[in-house]
Amino acid sequence: VSDEENWYCECPKLFTGKLCQFATCDENPCGNGATCFPKSRRDAVCLCPYGRSGILCSDAINITQPSFSGTDVFGYTSFLAYSTIPNITFYYEFRLKFQLANHYSALQDNLIFFTGQKGQGLNGDDFLELGLRNGRVVYSYNLGSGTTTIISKPLDLTLNIHVIHLGRSLQKGWMKVDDQKNKTGTSPGRLVGLNVFSQFYLGGYREYTPELLPKGPRFKNGFQGCIFDVQVHTSLNQGFKSPGTPEGHPNSGRSVGQCKDSPCSLIKCRNGGKCIETGSTVYCDCLTGWKGAFCTETVSVCEPEHDPPHLCQQGSTCVPLPNGYTCHCPLGTTGTYCEQG
């Protein structure tokens, strides 16, 4: 924006500086490969990778029963990614258990697991996925010539833990949920092999938006609750195994906690701030006027987050006073807020 000799930049949200060159995550405070996300112009949130927790993701945690927190307020899902499951082409069987965070989470569109081709949902995108929709378990697969979907009866929400057993042999698929009857389906077209090369995603996915998944499995949210005892086998003369190389070990993950643990129990947000936890990720949501990791710093009257914002105009500098503020005007402007030429 320019007026005669004076020019200044109107910065987009979360950027500051004369040239809008500063972003909170430039000087990334997060450790251990965490995803840094700017919560405001001054504060960042660290979305913790697998096995880490705490405000800066510096605490190691041991995860035996992963808990997933769905989609956080920044639009990221919590997930675990395991190496590609070998020999899944013609035959597989999966077993797993899950526990819902609450009844409401059963009614949302939640992804339980996914493996498949990236892309915009062309017919050739083979995939295998499992999720929740409107209180039912949904199992879909596409062998390249069309999608088959098998849907359970509504879950009995009085059960604490749900058990899923599903499989496929060539075109025929089947799924059994809790004590419900076995349900079956057959994939359309002629193709009989599932060709997937992606990692095996549990609870969510790495990408920021579900649009990057093929058209069939666009579950909008990550799973909310715990998923455990996931096992797979791909030939009848072989026992069930946990996914991953080495077995049971994910390659990566984000915001995954240990079931029944609460990272907020270790943190005290001050000055009316509220502790927010999504899996292993934890941060303080501060009341207006406060900032910082624990809401212990005051927002100065000249800072962009201050409510109401200061009124200094045309590239002038806001300077705080003991009560209120004053505007230091650039050459060629005058007035209380440097509003006059």
- Token readout for 202 is 């549990």
At 131-189, the pLDDT tens digits run 998 899 999 998 988 889 999 999 998 888 899 999 999 999 999 999 999 999 999 98
The pLDDT score that the predictor gives to residue 173 is 96
- Token readout for 136 is 């039912």
Residue 16 forms part of a structural domain = no
**Whole-number Cα distances in Å, 137 to 112, 153, 308, 338:** 9, 8, 48, 62
Looking at residue 181, the DSSP 8-state letter turns out to be P
Residue 339 forms part of a structural domain = no
At 287-308, the pLDDT tens digits run 888 888 888 888 888 887 788 8
CATH code at position 129: 2.60.120.200
CA distance 235 to 89: 11
The pLDDT score that the predictor gives to residue 237 is 83
User: What is residue 210's three-state secondary structure?
Assistant: helix
Residue 265 forms part of a structural domain = no
Residue 33 forms part of a structural domain = no
Residue 186 forms part of a structural domain = yes
Residue 42 forms part of a structural domain = no
Q: Beta 274-278 vs 79-82: how paired, if at all? A: unpaired
- Tokens 């998923």 identify what position? 227
The pLDDT score that the predictor gives to residue 23 is 65
User: What is residue 185's three-state secondary structure?
Assistant: strand
Long-range contacts of 293-298 (CB under 8 A, 24+ apart): 293/43, 293/55, 294/267, 294/268, 294/269, 294/270, 295/269, 295/270, 295/271, 296/270, 296/271
Residue 166 and residue 233 in contact, taking contact as beta carbons nearer than 8 Å: no
What residues make up the domain containing 162?
79-255
Catalogue the E-assigned strands of 238-328.
252-254, 257-258, 274-278, 281-285, 290-291, 297-298, 317-320, 325-328
- pTM, whole model, 2 decimals? 0.75
Per-residue pLDDT of the chain (341 residues; tens, 9 = 90+): 555 555 666 666 656 556 666 567 877 778 788 888 887 767 788 889 999 998 889 889 889 899 998 888 777 888 999 999 999 999 999 999 999 988 888 888 889 999 987 654 444 578 899 999 889 999 999 898 888 999 999 999 888 889 999 999 999 999 999 999 999 999 998 999 998 888 899 998 887 555 556 555 567 788 999 999 999 999 888 889 999 999 989 999 999 999 887 778 778 898 999 998 887 788 888 888 888 888 888 888 888 778 888 999 878 899 988 888 999 998 889 999 999 88
Residue 260 forms part of a structural domain = no
Arithmetic mean of pLDDT over the chain: 85
As beta bridge partners, residue 131 has 111, 138
Euclidean distance between the first and final Cα of the chain, in Å? 15
Residues for the chain: how many in total?
A: 341
Residue 151 and residue 138 in contact, taking contact as beta carbons nearer than 8 Å: yes
- How many domains are there within the chain? 1
- Token readout for 130 is 């499992």
Measure the CA dihedral 173/196/153/179, to 10°. 70
- How deeply is 151 buried, as exposed, middle or buried, from its count of CB atoms within 10 A (0-12, 13-18, 19+)? middle
CA distance 175 to 187: 14
Residue 310 forms part of a structural domain = no
- How many Cβ atoms sit within 10 Å of the Cβ of residue 164? 21
